A and B are shown apart, each in its own frame.
Chain A
Amino acid sequence: MDWISTAINGALLGGLYGLFGLGLALVFGVMRIVNLSHGEFIVMGAFLGVFLVAAMPQVPPWLMIVPVVVAGYAAGWLLQAGVVNLAVRTGDHLTPLLLTFGLSVVLRNGMVELFGADSRAIDGGRLTSAGFDLFGLHLGVYPLVVLALSIVLFVGVQRVVRHTEFGRVLRATADSPQVARLMGVAPERVFRQVMGLSIAFAAGAGFLLAMRSSFTPFSGVERLLIAFEVVIIGGLGSFWGALLGGILLGMAQLLGQKYDSNAGALYAHLLFVVSLVLLPRGLAGERR
């Protein structure tokens, strides 16, 4: 029963991991850009959450996800408008990669400078400590809420991309920015919105993670690694794949830790390697 409980908790954690990958998958899917500073934005979302929760103790902590997500969108929009669009314009795929790598180093060290290297967490109050028993399994309310929120977001993004005009414009721009221009679409504008959404998801996921575990300014690297693994296990550019990839990674991590308490995220990474060997195009990619 213990193992089943661990597997379920892993799946619940996986919802959050899926969210890490969602923004990365979105940016890669539309712009073919790998944002190496994605992890730092996850951590920045967490830091913003810490300060907002501390600054407004009368407001329920979970509500602070709203300003964090809004700030994330603004940061992503500005990032794209300010520098990444310039890098995209060079036409060299390496330029945005190097740019976001440099940005990740600057942001990480900037956070150390500003906030110090101490680990922090958001006290989520009753929401994060509440749990219940179901068929002999003990489940936390908060992880369940996070998984539900992830599923809602994934379904929402999938529906927007498949069934709205904005989604059509995204897919058309991903296919060919130049032909999209001929239709009257300004790809730079689309890219700003996509990066805004991506960082909004990243910041929101960072906030949610900070309510369940601690983080430091250096946590971004580990978060980025998970986001990458989620996207690659799922299949590049696939949203459903990213959610499934996140759930599998979460399960592998917690089951691995139960088997060997010193393992950390080793088994999650091993799962990534195995999936890369067996399904190099990812779960969704293989299905296509």
Chain B
Amino acid sequence: MPLLELKDVDVFYGDLQATFGVSFALDESEVLALIGANGAGKSTLLNAIVGVAAARRGSIRFADESVLGLPIERIAVRGIALVPEGRMLFASLSVEENLQMGGITRRKGPWNLDAVYSLFPMLAAMRKRPATQLSGGQQQMVSIGRALMANPRLLLCDELSLGLAPVVVDEIYRAFARIREQGLAIVVVEQDVRRACAVADRMVCLLKGRVTLAGPVESADHERIAAAYFGE
């Protein structure tokens, strides 16, 4: 039984259809790279999983229960956490308070403030600072830490590398190895295919809202990915 299962998911923005019959599944402790060009529907799918965007057709099941139509906050409580595109930290809250907001669901697990500070040591020294005064990379670390504080079973990461210096992205992806050790399932949405595939077990490539390639990362060579990514 997969942890997350999407079947024939169609998401619309008003009359505009963003995804067309997307299906994929994810097991416990598995990392899935969701890749595709800008506008392929990657973030839309993440938003549909967490309830921000409503899927009009198809099914989304998490831990063998449908989450389709559930309020966003109840999906969060069930154990799905999102690292949203653009970080979306709470501007009035300090770094530590932002992290604590992630723990509101009171789910039990290995992640707490100490564990997050151990993962990103530089945050410990900035715990009292307003979160939005940090650099982009540091804000991304807070955003990841905030999602981990929920002790989710499924972590969704939307464009972690967007707008960040390569050296910072390296650091964030290095932290990924330690996050994986805790055994949670992860979906990584990236435009940077190389980075996403380096941390993933399987990949799903989207093009204009449709799945064009899916399978284990090692089975997909460069040409097949390029064809699926660009539609050549």
Q: How far is the CA of A176 from the CA of B132 in the complex (A)?
A: 14
Partner of B92, one of A165, A171, A182, A185: A171
Q: Nearest B residue to A162 by beta-carbon distance?
A: B97
Q: How far is the CA of A175 from the CA of B73 in the complex (A)?
A: 16
- CB atoms of B73 and A185 under 8 A apart: yes
A159 in contact (CB, < 8 A): no
- CB atoms of A182 and B76 under 8 A apart: yes
Partner of B104, one of A165, A171, A175: A165
The stretch of B27-35, B82-90, B206-214 that contacts the partner chain: B82-90
- CB atoms of B100 and A175 under 8 A apart: no
On whether A182 and B82 interact (CB within 8 A), knowing A172-B90, A175-B90, the answer reads yes
B91 in contact (CB, < 8 A): yes
For B65-106 the 0/1 string (1 means CB < 8 A from A) is: 000000111001100011010001011110001001110110
- CB atoms of A169 and B71 under 8 A apart: no
- CB atoms of A181 and B90 under 8 A apart: no
B154 in contact (CB, < 8 A): no
- CB atoms of A181 and B76 under 8 A apart: yes
Residues of B within 8 A of A175 (CB): 90-93
- CB atoms of A180 and B52 under 8 A apart: no
A184 in contact (CB, < 8 A): yes
Residues of A within 8 A of B72 (CB): 178, 181-182
Say whether chain A's binding surface is mostly helix, strand, loop, or mixed.
helix
Q: How far is the CA of A65 from the CA of B50 in the complex (A)?
A: 45
Partner of A183, one of B52, B71, B92, B102: B102
Q: How far is the CA of A183 from the CA of B150 in the complex (A)?
A: 8
Q: Which of A168, A174, A180 has the most CB of B within 10 A?
A: A168
On whether A186 and B71 interact (CB within 8 A), knowing A175-B91, A175-B92, A181-B76, the answer reads yes
Partner of A171, one of B84, B90, B146: B90
Q: How far is the CA of A170 from the CA of B15 in the complex (A)?
A: 35
> B224 CB to closest chain A CB, in angstroms?
34
> B52 CB to closest chain A CB, in angstroms?
7
Residues of A within 8 A of B73 (CB): 181-186
Residues of A within 8 A of B84 (CB): 179, 182
Q: How far is the CA of A179 from the CA of B100 in the complex (A)?
A: 14
Q: How far is the CA of A112 from the CA of B190 in the complex (A)?
A: 64
- CB atoms of A168 and B101 under 8 A apart: yes
> A165 CB to closest chain B CB, in angstroms?
7
> A192 CB to closest chain B CB, in angstroms?
14
- CB atoms of A168 and B100 under 8 A apart: yes
Q: How far is the CA of A165 from the CA of B90 in the complex (A)?
A: 14
> A157 CB to closest chain B CB, in angstroms?
15
> A207 CB to closest chain B CB, in angstroms?
32
- CB atoms of A178 and B101 under 8 A apart: no
For A147-171 the 0/1 string (1 means CB < 8 A from B) is: 0000000000000000001001101
- CB atoms of B93 and A168 under 8 A apart: yes
> A277 CB to closest chain B CB, in angstroms?
28
Residues of B within 8 A of A182 (CB): 50, 52, 72-73, 76, 81-82, 84
Residues of A within 8 A of B104 (CB): 165, 169, 183-185
Q: How far is the CA of A168 from the CA of B76 in the complex (A)?
A: 18
Residues of A within 8 A of B90 (CB): 171-172, 175-176, 179-180
Q: How far is the CA of A168 from the CA of B146 in the complex (A)?
A: 14
Q: How far is the CA of A283 from the CA of B201 in the complex (A)?
A: 56
Q: How far is the CA of A181 from the CA of B90 in the complex (A)?
A: 12
Residues of B within 8 A of A176 (CB): 88, 90
What would be 9 A-B contacts, judged by CB atoms less than 8 Å apart?
A168-B97, A172-B101, A175-B90, A179-B84, A181-B76, A182-B84, A183-B102, A183-B104, A184-B76
When A and B form their complex, which 6 residue pairs have the shortest distance between CB atoms, in order from nearest? A181-B72, A184-B76, A184-B105, A171-B92, A175-B90, A172-B90
Q: A180-B101, A182-B76, A185-B101 are in contact. List 13 more A-B contacts (CB 8 A).
A: A168-B93, A172-B101, A175-B91, A175-B92, A176-B88, A176-B90, A182-B50, A182-B72, A182-B84, A183-B104, A183-B105, A184-B73, A184-B77
Binding site for B on A (CB under 8 A): 165, 168-169, 171-172, 174-176, 178-186
Binding site for A on B (CB under 8 A): 50, 52, 71-73, 76-77, 81-82, 84, 88, 90-93, 97, 100-102, 104-105, 146, 150
